Each structure stands twice: as C-alpha cells, then as structure tokens.
Structure 1
Amino acid sequence: MPTPYRHRTLASVLRRGARTFPAVIVTGPRQSGKTTLVQKLFGDSHAYCSLDDPAVRLQAQADPALLLQRFAPPVILDEIQYAPDLLHYVKLDIDRRRAEKGRFVITGSQVFPLMQGVAESLAGRAAVTSLLSLSVREAFGAPEAAHGWREALEGAAGPISAPAPEVTLGAVLRGGYPEPALDPEVDLSLWHASYVQTYLERDVRTLRGVADLSDFQRFLFALAARTAQLVSFEDLARDLGISGKTVKAWISVLEASGQVATLRPYHVSRGKRLVKRPKVYFLDTGTLAYLLAVRDIDQLRAGLAAGPIFEAAVLGQLQRMFLHRGEPSRLYFWRTAAGHEIDFVVENGQQLIPIEAKLTASPSPRDAAPIEAFQKLFGKRAGRGLVVCLVSERVPLSRTVDAVPIGVF
C-alpha cells in the first residue's frame, strides 16, 4: 500500500523560492520526503532526473553537459550529492538565462558536499532549504505555513486538534519519516534498524573515511544514551576508546546528514556560547527510540528514557518550526552553575522565550516554576513561557506561562 501524502509546511517556501531564484535546493536526511515533495510541487512543470540511478550518475560524471541536454531545464535534479560537479554546469546554464526563475529544483541528502558546491557555484543563485521528517502537526494532517514561527509560539497559527495522549505518544514512538509514521503496518524496529544500517553504509562512508563502521555504530548508541544531557566529547571518547577529535568529526557527520542537532547554552555574551558543554539531540524520535531499545508506548511513557525522548521530540518540533518555514534555528538551552535550567530558549530579537518539555497530560502550576524563575531573572527580555506537554489545547498555568500540546508548532 503506498504511503499517503501529507502536505508539508516547507511547500510554500519552495514555491516562493522558485519564483525568486533560478534554483531551489532542498537538503535533509534520507527518507524525509524530499523527492515526494518536489515531485508533488514541480512534477507537472519540470523534467525529473534521479542521480541515484547508476546509469544516470555515470553520465553526469562523464558528460554533465550532455546530461543537461537529455534532461533539459526546467528539471528536478534528485540526490545531487552523487554528482556534485554537475553544479558547475547548472551555474553555466543559470548565468546564460539569469532572468528565468525556478529552472532547477535540486535535492541532496548530504549537506557538507552539497553546500560546498553551492558556495562554489550557486552563491546568490539558489534558495537553500532543509526538510526534516514530518512534524507532529504535519503527520496529523494540519500543517500551518501561513503564519511565521512567532505566531506559532503565540498561538496565532490556529489550534491543532490534539489527539489523546496515547495517540501522540504513538506518533513520537514511530517518528516522522513518512513510511513508519503513516503506515501502521510497518515493523518499526525492522524499519529503523534498516535505516540506521543503510545510513551507515551510504552516508558515513561518503562523508568521512570511517575505517570501522562497528565503532561508529557503538558511537551512535552511546550518543543516543546521552540525549538531553550535557555532552563531554572527551568523556564520550574515553568511554568508546577513540579520540576526542574523532567524536567531534563524527558528530559533524550526524549534523551534516540531518540526524542530530547540537544545542548550545544561552549567554548574554555570544562568545561564551561556544565554550560551554552542548547538548546533542537526535532529530527523529523513531530513530532515537530504536537506538535506546524503546519498543512500545509503555516504555515510552514510564521507562528510563521517557523524559529524554519526549524532550528530544519537543526539540525536533521546534527545529521543524524554523527550518520548514525557511528560517535558521534560534534555539538554545539555559543552565546556571547552581543547576537551574530551562530546556529551550528561543531568541526573538531582544526577546527570549523560555520553553520546558514535560511528559504529562496534567501539567500543574508547579511545572511553570522554572520558567517563572527565568522570567524574573531576565525581566522584560523574557517573553511568555511555554510548557510543551500532552494537553489537548493551550491552557494557562500562570499569568506568564501556558501549557501547549506538542503539535502546536
């Protein structure tokens, strides 16, 4: 049975980009729905060229100019990371017809080589976007692109009909990749095991010369176990018997391929953000649950990994809130030397929006206390706070803090 299509928030950004630039680029992890989305939006107006096809890839490497004659623009160039040199010929075509918009729609699953090619060839000629796996709102069929992320945080993006907590937790367990998220017949453990193995074999070997894939796989499981914690690269390296330099390089691999996000602490001095321990979150909770051996909703609700997985789910929704609207992430966490902490801080100009993740369907005013302490410390700079949880609708917990469902973004 084919996977049902879900409208993506990024769609309006891509349409706008195609009206503004000669090329539009969509990056993101494997299986996040890039090909489906661009074919849905541009399939009737553009030819389609998949560089995942070995024969097409060989022609792109041997004679790029001939390939662009075979697949004449306007064209979708899918999986450009397999033939990055093709971008130089795309540039030549664009420069000959600079006034023509939307001639190339390009997808890629590996950010490092693709962005290197963009910087060298398509600077100022392409809109660059990122597509992660489905947000909770998208998976439930209620994407919202008409409002910006500020309106989404403030509740102006419109209410979501939040399902029962068990259904929401099921969505968190399945993750956002369209096939396991939307097809109830998919074996989650088998799908994510296959995904991780395919990712290891295809992306890791290409992005970095990882000599021992078994070491990298051990690193994946160890990093998953540290989700929502402060991460010391040196401690992680020592536990795995590898160098700190290798750990940093491998985290860069995960970031480049859209698997994790590194969150830095918020400080008034921007320079200090780079010298404190970060947190690392997996961006898809289905993959994270697989790596942590969480197989059912009971484990997700009450197991040792329950809180960290839900916190990762909230982080993932916030990242999608930014990226799927075509904007860079403005997320940090806040922690004092005394141990006071806010899970997430959104920087909105001079305003700071504090956000806590709580795995509960019955939040209380006590859950608002950390946010209220943050608001007291930062005064007028602190905006209205949010406790993201399993409630069905937005409800006030105090004069300055609301509880909101995880799908609100």
Structure 2
Amino acid sequence: MINRIMADQMRAQAQWFPVLSVTGPRQSGKSTLVKSVFDAYAYANLEDPQLRREALEDPVGFIRTRPSKLIIDEAQYAPELFSVIQVVSDERGEAGQYILSGSQNFLLTKRIGQSLAGRVGLLKLLSVSYEECRDYNPACSPESFMFSGGYPRLLSTGMPASMFFSSYLDTYVERDVAEYLDVRNLAAFRRFVRLCALSAGNLVNYSSLARDADIDARTAKAWLSMLDASYITFTLQPYYRNAGKRLTKSPKIYYHDTGLLCYLLGISSAEQLVSSEYFGAICENFIVSETQKRHLNRGVRPELYFYRDDRKVEVDLLDFTDAHEKKAR
C-alpha cells in the first residue's frame, strides 16, 4: 500500500471538527485512505444505488439509524444529508463523527458551505505525489513519474498509462460531465480538454480556446471552471503588490496530474517525454503541481503565484505559503 502523507492530518482534524470532508479527483485514493485511517467507522458508499435511494428518500432515517462514527463516500450524491448531519453532530457535540468523501468538488463544497460551515475540516487529496511515490518505489525517476502520473492504481498495478487514462477520461466525460454537469456536446468538451493540455504552463486565452474548440468564450470559461472543480486542472494567478490586479490579469493553467497531461498530449513513454517539444512545459507543470500537493497533503492552503512584468521578466512559481521561491526553466 502507498503511504499517504495526509493520513496524519486526517487524524488530527478528526480530533478538532465534528465533520471531516476529503475531496479530490476520481481514483486519487480517497476511499482507501479514509477507510484505512478510520478503520473502526461504519462505511456507506453512495455509489451504491440502493444506499443512494435510501439517503435521498429518508435522510433523517439514513443518519439516525447508523453508528455515530460514519464514513459517507461520494456524499455529494445526497446533499439532503448535510442538514441532518449538522443537527445530529450539534446534538452529540463530539469531534470526528462523520467523514465525508467526494470526487465532485463543485457539488460537495457548495453544500458543505451552506450546511456545515464552521463544523467541518476541509482536506483535498490529489493523486500520489512524487515524494510519496519515492517512498513506495525508491527507483522511481522524475521522468517516469511525470509520464505515468500519480494515480494509485497505475502505480501499484503496472497498468499501461494509455489504458488507464483512456478509461479515466471516458468515465469523467460520460459520468461527471454528461450526467452531473449537463454538458451536451461531449465531442467538443473532449476537444476542449485536449486544447487545455496544449496550453499547460501558459496564460489562459479564453478566446483562443473557444475558437479552436468551436464554442463561445462564455462556454470556454464555464468548462474550464468545471475542469478546476473536478480536479483535472487548476490555475495560478499572477502576483502583483496590488492584490486587486490578480483578479483582472490572466492566470496560467496547469494539470493536477502530469500523467493525464502526457496522455492528452499524445506522449506514449517516458523516453518520448524527454525528447518531446512539451518537455519544458510538463516539467514546469510537475514542479507547480508537486508544490501544491506538498502543502495540501499537510493540510495547508497553498499561496502560489507566478510573476511576469511588462519587461518580460518572469518567475514561474512564487510560493508564499512558506516563503520559498522557485523557478522552472
């Protein structure tokens, strides 16, 4: 089993909050980790249609007939549970009552903010970091990790990366995007995801993305927000002394997992990656995403920016979380 750094932070926050929320991309290891850390808890997975139906039809009964220490996996499927959890956790007044896990941040976080504000610890578990991979497999090189990425199933089974990511992308598009985000033009969305990969490490240009994907700029903005909310991509804001300007200047786009990025760019091996025209951009993405994981795995919100001035002076990564500065060339 791959040891996850976040385990200690989960145990700590379960001592402080009545509810703990663990979100992250599909197959990042959330279920495995929460069941390992909280092995004495009862477990309910709302991917199970019968359990989901029970939770939706009788949320009060679902919560009150179950043990006081409960993991609810894919909790976003039954948001009606959250107000009940609020009432019950307040009645009991104990820490560590409920562990909520979910892969759809856009649904789960909104409901948590509405019902459980101030009562919930928030953690984000991304795919395995290079630090964690080296602990699991000391022979893992940066190049091989950048190519394969950090999804636990890939690292532990030796499955071909192309097979894993083809299935992963199909599941994401056909379930999350089509079913829960109500995107109708799935072919255009797939094209958009690949266009975003070509833009990794660059400033977001909504007009260009929209034109190349044959959609309008408003749709491009909405779709990129979807990719961010479902932990496929994230953006880095530019740094200015005047904080207000950060909201008006273009951010840079990155992928949380470089293995998925390599797949979208058509890179089929670590050797091809090293000689690829995209190697520099993928290295930059690797450094930025690994820095983000280092902080999130320890329960710290990253304060990451990039710097670029009108004289073209550029620093790819400014890390104000713990006062480090890094530059990827």
TM-score (norm 2): 0.96
The residue type equivalent to 1:8 in the other structure is R
Q: 2:296 and 2:281 mapped to 1: Cα distance? A: 22
Residue 109 of structure 1, CA deviation: 0.7
Unaligned runs of 5+ in 1: 143-160, 359-409
The residue type equivalent to 1:66 in the other structure is G
Residue 70 of structure 1, CA deviation: 4.1
Q: 1:277 and 1:254 mapped to 2: Cα distance? A: 17
Contact 1:81-1:108 within 8 A present in 2 as well: yes
Out of 69, 72, 78, the position equivalent to 2:73 is 78
Unaligned runs of 5+ in 2: none
Q: 1:180 aligns to what?
A: 154
The residue type equivalent to 2:7 in the other structure is A
Q: 1:34 aligns to what?
A: 30
Out of 219, 225, 228, the position equivalent to 1:252 is 225
Partner of 2:316, secondary structure, is strand
Partner of 1:20, secondary structure, is coil
> What fraction of aligned residue pairs are identical, expressed as a percent?
38
Q: 2:91 aligns to what?
A: 96
Q: 1:25 and 1:130 mapped to 2: Cα distance? A: 8
Query: Greater relative contact order: 1 or 2 (C-alpha under 8 angstroms, separation 6 or more)?
Result: 2
Q: Tell me whether 1:55 sits opposite 2:29 in the alignment.
A: no
Q: 1:191 and 1:181 mapped to 2: Cα distance? A: 11
Partner of 2:320, secondary structure, is strand
CA RMSD of aligned residues (A): 1.6
Q: 1:171 and 1:182 mapped to 2: Cα distance? A: 13
Q: 2:115 aligns to what?
A: 121
Residue 255 of structure 1, CA deviation: 0.8
Q: 1:9 aligns to what?
A: 5
Partner of 1:332, secondary structure, is strand
Q: 1:244 and 1:261 mapped to 2: Cα distance? A: 18
Q: 2:275 and 2:266 mapped to 1: Cα distance? A: 14
Contact 1:23-1:102 within 8 A present in 2 as well: yes
Q: 1:347 and 1:116 mapped to 2: Cα distance? A: 27
The residue type equivalent to 2:276 in the other structure is G
- Tell me which moved more, 31-40 or 315-324: 315-324
Larger Rg: 1
Q: Tell me whether 1:302 sits opposite 2:298 in the alignment.
A: no
User: What are the superposed Cα offsets for residues 195-220 of structure 1, whole Å, 9 maximum, x if unpaired?
Assistant: 01101112113453211111100000
TM-score (norm 1): 0.78
Contact 1:299-1:306 within 8 A present in 2 as well: no
Partner of 1:304, secondary structure, is coil
Contact 1:207-1:253 within 8 A present in 2 as well: no
Residue 83 of structure 1, CA deviation: 0.9
The residue type equivalent to 2:146 in the other structure is V
The residue type equivalent to 1:322 in the other structure is H
Q: 1:31 and 1:348 mapped to 2: Cα distance? A: 27
Out of 283, 294, 297, the position equivalent to 1:321 is 294
- Tell me which moved more, 128-137 or 239-248: 239-248
Out of 355, 365, 372, the position equivalent to 2:326 is 355
Contact 2:188-2:214 within 8 A present in 1 as well: no
Contact 1:263-1:331 within 8 A present in 2 as well: yes
Residue 134 of structure 1, CA deviation: 0.3
Contact 1:9-1:325 within 8 A present in 2 as well: yes
